[in-house]
Amino acid sequence: MQAQIECVEYAGIDYGRGVTNIDSATGIRYGVIPHHAVGSAWYEESEGDYGEPTCPRCGGEVVEFEDEKHSTYNPFGHYYCEEYVCETCEIVLEYHECFPEDPFVFYVKNDEYAAFQDADGPDIFIEKSPYFTYAQFCSPCGPGACYLLNPLCDPRDPDEGPMDNNRAYCFGHDWFESGCAPYPVYLVATNEIVEPERGVKP
């Protein structure tokens, strides 16, 4: 049986007006959840995106070092460590010089999930998943997305029908250290509810 979950009655307001933070192919919203609510799985699965390499002096584009073309840029001839060249500044650069110390964004992208977290923000945006839940719309800071820690009570009320406008992609139970997501989990393919493994407590 699905674990007891705190839920909300109010569906919220779609500040995205149906066009932002939504998968246009499925109509499913992007799910938003704080990274600390997911725990170690996010840190283990996500990778950092440091952007494109640039010249630390002028900020311009760099290219890969070519011995014949760029040998005059380096009078000492130590080419084995250099990987990039700024042809504007005519300097040879090592890999670490062309990227920032910290990534711009952390992300997961595989056959099942697409999700990202800005390096300076606490929230993960889930753009693709085999699972969804029904959740309250985010505030205007996440227009059109749904906040997964505010799942909706009775999203399939027999009198009102399913609140499909509030479907949002989410992580499955296995992403949480407890083995149980803090919201009901449904399969996108079949709309069937997915129970946590037997013996798992909320």
Low-confidence ranges of the chain (pLDDT < 70): 1-4, 74-82, 157-162, 198-202
The model's pTM is 0.79
d(C-alpha 45, C-alpha 64), whole Å: 29
| pLDDT the model gives residue 202 | 47
Query: Do 116 and 124 meet the contact criterion of CB atoms below 8 Å apart?
Result: yes
| pLDDT the model gives residue 79 | 53
pLDDT digits (tens, 9 = 90+) for 68-83: 787 777 655 555 566 8
d(C-alpha 161, C-alpha 156), whole Å: 5
Residue holding tokens 């719309």? 137
Query: Do 177 and 157 meet the contact criterion of CB atoms below 8 Å apart?
Result: no
Local structure of residue 150 (DSSP, 8 states): E
| pLDDT the model gives residue 182 | 95
d(C-alpha 54, C-alpha 98), whole Å: 5
| pLDDT the model gives residue 2 | 43
Query: Do 37 and 151 meet the contact criterion of CB atoms below 8 Å apart?
Result: no
Q: How is the chain split into domains, by residue range?
A: 31-49+104-194, 63-98
Q: Count Cβ atoms below 10 Å from residue 51 Cβ, excluding itself.
A: 11
| pLDDT the model gives residue 4 | 56
| pLDDT the model gives residue 186 | 96
pLDDT digits (tens, 9 = 90+) for 156-176: 766 666 688 999 999 999 999
| In the chain, % of residues over pLDDT 90 | 51
d(C-alpha 148, C-alpha 165), whole Å: 14
Average per-residue pLDDT in the chain? 87
